[in-house]
Structure 1
Amino acid sequence: MREENPHLIAVEASVKHLPKLPGVYIMKDAQGEVIYVGKAKSLRDRVRTYFSGGDGRYSIQYILARIATLEKIVTENEQQAFALESDLIKKFKPRYNIRLKDDKAYLHVRIDENVAWPRLELVRRIDNDGAKYFGPYTFSYELRTLLEVIKKVVPLRTCTDTVFYNRQRPCLEYQIKRCAGPCCIEIDRDDYMEWVDQAVSVLEGNTKPLVTALKREMDRASAELRFEDAGVYRDRIDILENFSTRHQYVTSIGENRDVFALYREETLVALTVLQVRNGRIIGSQNFSFSEAAMPDEALMESVLWQYYDSSREVPEEILLPFEVEGMKTLRGALKERRGRALQLVVPKRGIKFRLLGLAELNAKEHFISTFHAEARYQSVAQDLATLCRLTQMPRRIECVDISNFQGGSIVGALVCFYDGRPSKNDYRRYNISQQGKPDDFGAIYEVVLRRLQSGVEKDNLPDLLVIDGGKGQLAKALEARDELGIALDIISLAKMKTQNAEHQSDQVEKSPERIFLEGESEAHPLAPDAQTTHFMQTLRDEVHRFVITFHRKKRTQVSHRSVLDEIPGVGRERKGRLLKEFGSVSAMKDVPVEEIARVGRMTKALAQKIVDAVSHDSD
């Protein structure tokens, strides 16, 4: 090992200078990239285990092969080290740390009680912004059904802030009694915040307080002979009670708890979190790790801290399949985050043990769906490497496509698949610099050049780059690659061709999809039913969908542009006020300068520029 890494001796010698204090250690490679971040009760004792053989994790050999420098940050206690380690992992994304990544498919409900008139929002990311978040919800249908129930019984606003603060009369939601109309109607904020509390109770799985309140209002309405209002309350009660009976209790008391479980095969791990609120399972979340060489106890400890290091609610009880490392310190850190006591429990019998078994079953199912799919992709990757004579097995594959309409709004897009699955965080869109004429070849050259330049700088080049097109597009992509002097496998994928049969004009012949390889003039046909063909079609269809969506958006933006967009000092807000008042750009031609200045809240000089520009545009 020391022969392979010339920096290792110096790093090992520096360990004796580390203090026996709690803190975080940061390991970097020769390029200064952070490759691992760890926490320790005693920095010197912990880091020493890397070199003495006391740490038996499989990944240690790779860390030692790359480490060039070692840095430290001393903290006051272990809990501070926990928090700092998590922050640094998020910041640097070290290669050899376990990182808990939320699936973008999971939806959450966000409600910010710090604003004047809160509303329920659907979001896919949790921010540490002081708002409350509920979820994740694995199935969007389940979540939308829940929100529909809340909308029918709690009259909260649903519009965005932009619509809310610019509305001049109540919308349809107000007319059908699904919104109190705080945008235009004067209502008591205390009453509104009581409705917010009722909505939060439903999201937490507790419908009883709201049902009780609605029954009280129904009885009062009946006593006052307001039978129509009483009927509205009755219908809302029925909706809530029907919703409640469809969600079976899993405990008799109604506790709030999260249940963690994992399933492992060698370094492949799947982990599931079941969320139980008021005695009901309201959601679950799954994670997977493909290089989890650390022991289960250390992995679970890392997952727990990262999972709750956000705006996620920390429940009163967390069920675990086994004791984790630093249990006491972790409990203290989570207690501090929650603001009151909580329990970390390893159940051995009873309902809690059954919940743990259910979580473990879900973890195993997630493992099968995740890693068995990866195993299938390994076969695809092997076939692809053989067929295309690639220099390596492709794990990260990217595909480029171009879209234009008569030379206008030319755009490019790139999608990324990792181990056979879309990696949407790595999708990219490109505005092409040369507009005005349809030049797919030039656009391919520009997109590939920009992507590879970025890849060299960020050290995230793909294993294989696929170009949607034929020989010409492949040639331009290779030209861009060679200009940068890098080694990278690039192929192009040409669509299926159809043509009339040679002797029977009423019949159509279809030629299979083809790939073009570097240095070869003839295309290689793909077998129609091969798994490799299906994968390549999926890749091509995804980039096509992505680029077309981007292109349509760009064309819409262009079509909505006007002469006002070309005048310095006329932003979106001023433009909106002018169009709202006068109806169209052409209508401003005969409007006095003073009136334009008043409506647009601008100087007469700027208003004169608008009149001049509008008059010139109309000529």
Structure 2
Amino acid sequence: MSEVLKEKIKTAPNLPGIYIMLSENSDVLYVGKAKNIQNRLEQYLNPSHVRTQKMVSQISDIRFITTNSEEEALMLEMSNVKSMKPKYNVLLKDDKSFPEIFISTGEDFPSISKHRGKRIEKGEYFGPFASSDDVYKTIDAIEKFFQIRTCSNFEFKTRSRPCMKYQIKRCTAPCVQKTSAQEYKTQIKSAISFLHGKNDELKTQLCKKMQEYSRDMEFEKAAQIRDTISSISKIQMSDNIQILETDNMDILGVHEQSGKLCIHLFFIRNGYNFGSKPYFFEIREFDKSEILYQFIHQFYLSSKPPEYIILSENVNYNNELSKILSTKIIAPKDSRLEKIVSFANQNAKNSLEQQNATSGINETFMTQIAALFNLSKTPERIEVFDNSHIFGKQAIGAMVSINKDGFDKSNYRKYNFDMNVNTMNDYEMMENMLYRRACKILEMREKKQDNIPDLWLIDGGVGHLSAVKKALLAANLDIDYICISKGVDRNAGNELFHTKYEQNIQIDRKSEVMFYLQRIRDEVHRFAITSHRKKRDKDTIKSVLDEIPNIGVKRKKALLLHFGSPQLVKQASISDLQKVEGVSEAVAKTIYDFFHD
């Protein structure tokens, strides 16, 4: 037990406030709040969870900040967790913002698109959605129902004839005046009403419009509206749970099983289910109530909470959290909400059972890999490496991480190479990447951090095996590693495996463990190629726009947001360029002259 903790308890105040636990290297381990700091620290003398025991063993110092109330302590804790990101506080590894749908109502002919990040442009925003896939499915439905354009502004302004979407009735082609401004405005209003959940009101309006078209003998337009009404009705009828148009809430389904907890989060906005996402936690690391508190606390630091957060479990500091987040955290109060929460809890159960099944399969494969290749231990985490380039240009290294739960995307890494990369061959790039990763692993071991790998898998042959040895020798790191080469004719199934003992092993091409190794090799290959393409596109933008005088980072970004690509910037007229924010007539002329002189 940490002697530091015992000493610090003696001087800890009997007041509300926060305590900040520091490691030997002054890294922040944990930020906690308490009604009585001294009493709270005494609870760490006999920790029941493995994670807490590990944290206490690393404490080198504890600092205190007292407050006037427990509520103030909670606010201060939330602020410090957000800024410091302490290792033992952070539950959510992925802090990426959630996507939204954006309708650019500030334009004469608005478009609909996916949006992520700050709300800068004028228009209507709908979300958050659980995933980009949920956004694209909704946009696809709106295209089908209301025929709203999805093209860029520049493409819209430069078209001389309708695109394919007009032919398949996904757009009314306002770009070439196939619809009037008034008719298109009606389409936009209908789409916005749909996203606001005002379906009954919308259907009433559409019925009136359908009757008008019928009276005017515009039967094709009437038929299109009839199909739209039918589709909206089907969406309403297909709901498994009764969600009202006024519902703006997040539903937290919770299920505990086999030492794990799943929180399945559903986004309900304007009566629509905007998708869901499961989160998994080890119960042995936290109490169940503490996990729920930390989840709500951390999730809504970066995501704006809705009017209500509904779950069936008790949450620590419920009232204080509600006040700070300006929302209401409540249990279901009627049969309708009980049914919705029960639906969410069932989904949490299903997600956790699927996760546990996946964990069991991955653990089996890792045990088989240890036996097949005579590894020093059964791996709990595997890191896989590959690089991608075109004759040394836009070279990038990629690493993916796999644990018993599957691909751990929060621990994927990309490696850029310096300007001398053109003189480096494939083996030297791999050696460079692996040396840098080896140094990082040594640093992680010294700091007693988690997520340290037990095995490296390298996409490459005997030459790469030599690169691995050089990198590990230079860094003075010992770790098991395997190189996987394509084999004869580079056909899948003929792979050869090269180990640190210089053995060449071939395994049954139809075995499940072979498919598993191919799948994780293919994942790093996909990640490397995708990262390389992004870098290549970025370098292409840099090589064109960065050469134009008086074009800085902000103007370059504004040009790309407006036109969509450097090629379309090149095709733009001076008057088109002037429509971009921050581009004056003189700057527009400079850009135009650069491409046309």
Query: By the TM > 0.5 criterion, same fold?
Result: yes
**In the superposition, relative to structure 1, how do residues 391 and 213 fare at CA in structure 2: closer, same or farther (>3 Å)?**
same
Distance between the aligned counterparts of 1:114 and 1:204, measured in 2? 15
Instruction: Give 1:61's aligned residue.
Output: 53
Instruction: Give 1:589's aligned residue.
Output: none
Instruction: Give 2:521's aligned residue.
Output: 540
Distance between the aligned counterparts of 2:286 and 2:273, measured in 1? 30
Instruction: Give 1:150's aligned residue.
Output: 142
Aligned partner (choices 576, 580, 583) of residue 571 of structure 2: 580
| 1:152 positional shift | 3.8
Equivalent residues in 2 for 1:25-424 (5 A)? 25-51=19-45, 53=46, 56-74=48-66, 77-79=69-71, 81-97=73-89, 99-101=91-93, 108-111=99-102, 119-122=111-114, 132-137=125-130, 140=133, 144-154=136-146, 156-160=148-152, 167=158, 172=163, 178=171, 181=174, 198-221=190-213, 230-250=222-242, 255-265=247-257, 267-276=259-268, 283-290=275-282, 292-316=284-308, 318-334=309-325, 336=326, 338=327, 342=328, 344-346=330-332, 350-405=335-390, 410-419=395-404, 421-424=406-409
Are 2:456 and 1:513 equivalent residues in the alignment? no
TM-score (norm 1): 0.74
Which shows bigger deviation, 66-75 or 454-463? Answer: 454-463
> Counterpart of 2:100 in structure 1: which amino acid?
V
Distance between the aligned counterparts of 2:201 and 2:94, measured in 1? 32
Are 2:464 and 1:473 equivalent residues in the alignment? yes
Which shows bigger deviation, 108-117 or 481-490? Answer: 108-117
Instruction: Give 1:430's aligned residue.
Output: 416
> Counterpart of 1:202 in structure 2: which amino acid?
F
> Counterpart of 1:361 in structure 2: which amino acid?
Q
| 1:407 positional shift | 5.5
| 1:100 positional shift | 3.3
Which shows bigger deviation, 561-570 or 534-543? Answer: 561-570
Distance between the aligned counterparts of 1:256 and 1:19, measured in 2? 41
Distance between the aligned counterparts of 1:516 and 1:372, measured in 2? 30
Instruction: Give 2:8's aligned residue.
Output: 11
Aligned partner (choices 477, 481, 485) of residue 486 of structure 1: 477
Aligned partner (choices 8, 15, 20) of residue 15 of structure 2: 20
Do the aligned residues in 1 keep the contact of 2:148 with 2:188 (CA within 8 Å)?
A: yes
**In the superposition, relative to structure 1, how do residues 533 and 92 fare at CA in structure 2: closer, same or farther (>3 Å)?**
farther
**In the superposition, relative to structure 1, how do residues 252 and 555 fare at CA in structure 2: closer, same or farther (>3 Å)?**
closer
Query: What whole-Å deviation, never above 9, does each CA across 1:63-96 have from its counterpart, x for those lacking one?
Result: 2111112234455654554454345444444333
Do the aligned residues in 2 keep the contact of 1:27 with 1:69 (CA within 8 Å)?
A: yes
Query: What whole-Å deviation, never above 9, does each CA across 1:17-46 have from its counterpart, x for those lacking one?
Result: x3613x433222112222222233343443
Which shows bigger deviation, 564-573 or 349-358? Answer: 564-573
Instruction: Give 1:440's aligned residue.
Output: 426
Distance between the aligned counterparts of 1:281 and 1:546, measured in 2? 31
Distance between the aligned counterparts of 2:176 and 2:72, measured in 1? 44
Query: What whole-Å deviation, never above 9, does each CA across 1:123-167 have from its counterpart, x for those lacking one?
Result: 5x6668798442535793x65443233224446542346656x75
Which shows bigger deviation, 376-385 or 537-546? Answer: 376-385
Instruction: Give 1:593's aligned residue.
Output: none
Distance between the aligned counterparts of 2:119 and 2:66, measured in 1? 25
Do the aligned residues in 2 keep the contact of 1:254 with 1:280 (CA within 8 Å)?
A: no
Q: Secondary structure at the match of 1:62?
A: helix
**Structure 2 unaligned blocks of 5 or more:** 561-565, 574-584
Which shows bigger deviation, 407-416 or 321-330? Answer: 407-416
Q: Secondary structure at the match of 1:601?
A: helix
> Counterpart of 2:15 in structure 1: which amino acid?
K
Q: Secondary structure at the match of 2:370?
A: helix
Instruction: Give 1:591's aligned residue.
Output: none
Percentage identity across paired residues of the two chains: 24
Distance between the aligned counterparts of 2:221 and 2:550, measured in 1? 52
Distance between the aligned counterparts of 1:543 and 1:451, measured in 2? 15
**Structure 1 unaligned blocks of 5 or more:** 500-507, 583-596, 612-619
Equivalences, count: 565
Do the aligned residues in 2 keep the contact of 1:466 with 1:490 (CA within 8 Å)?
A: yes
Distance between the aligned counterparts of 2:480 and 2:312, measured in 1? 45
Computing the radius of gyration from Cα coordinates, the structure with the larger value is 1
Distance between the aligned counterparts of 1:564 and 1:270, measured in 2? 47
Query: What whole-Å deviation, never above 9, does each CA across 1:340-370 have from its counterpart, x for those lacking one?
Result: xx461256x8343333333222212111111
Which shows bigger deviation, 446-455 or 404-413? Answer: 404-413
Q: Secondary structure at the match of 1:417?
A: strand
| 1:578 positional shift | 8.7
> Counterpart of 1:199 in structure 2: which amino acid?
A
> Counterpart of 2:354 in structure 1: which amino acid?
S
> Counterpart of 1:492 in structure 2: which amino acid?
C
Do the aligned residues in 1 keep the contact of 2:29 with 2:87 (CA within 8 Å)?
A: yes
Cα RMSD of the aligned pairs, angstroms, is: 4.7
Instruction: Give 1:601's aligned residue.
Output: 589
**In the superposition, relative to structure 1, how do residues 381 and 443 fare at CA in structure 2: closer, same or farther (>3 Å)?**
same
Distance between the aligned counterparts of 1:144 and 1:371, measured in 2? 30
Q: Secondary structure at the match of 2:286?
A: coil
> Counterpart of 1:451 in structure 2: which amino acid?
R
TM-score (norm 2): 0.77
**In the superposition, relative to structure 1, how do residues 353 and 102 fare at CA in structure 2: closer, same or farther (>3 Å)?**
farther
Do the aligned residues in 1 keep the contact of 2:355 with 2:405 (CA within 8 Å)?
A: no
> Counterpart of 1:440 in structure 2: which amino acid?
D
**In the superposition, relative to structure 1, how do residues 416 and 228 fare at CA in structure 2: closer, same or farther (>3 Å)?**
same
Q: Secondary structure at the match of 2:255?
A: strand
| 1:326 positional shift | 2.0
Query: What whole-Å deviation, never above 9, does each CA across 1:471-516 have from its counterpart, x for those lacking one?
Result: 32112122122212233333322233359xxxxxxxx9x9953332
Instruction: Give 2:577's aligned residue.
Output: none
**In the superposition, relative to structure 1, how do residues 169 and 10 fare at CA in structure 2: closer, same or farther (>3 Å)?**
farther
| 1:599 positional shift | 9.5
Q: Secondary structure at the match of 2:313?
A: coil
**In the superposition, relative to structure 1, how do residues 58 and 119 fare at CA in structure 2: closer, same or farther (>3 Å)?**
farther
> Counterpart of 2:403 in structure 1: which amino acid?
Y
| 1:288 positional shift | 0.6
Do the aligned residues in 1 keep the contact of 2:126 with 2:195 (CA within 8 Å)?
A: no
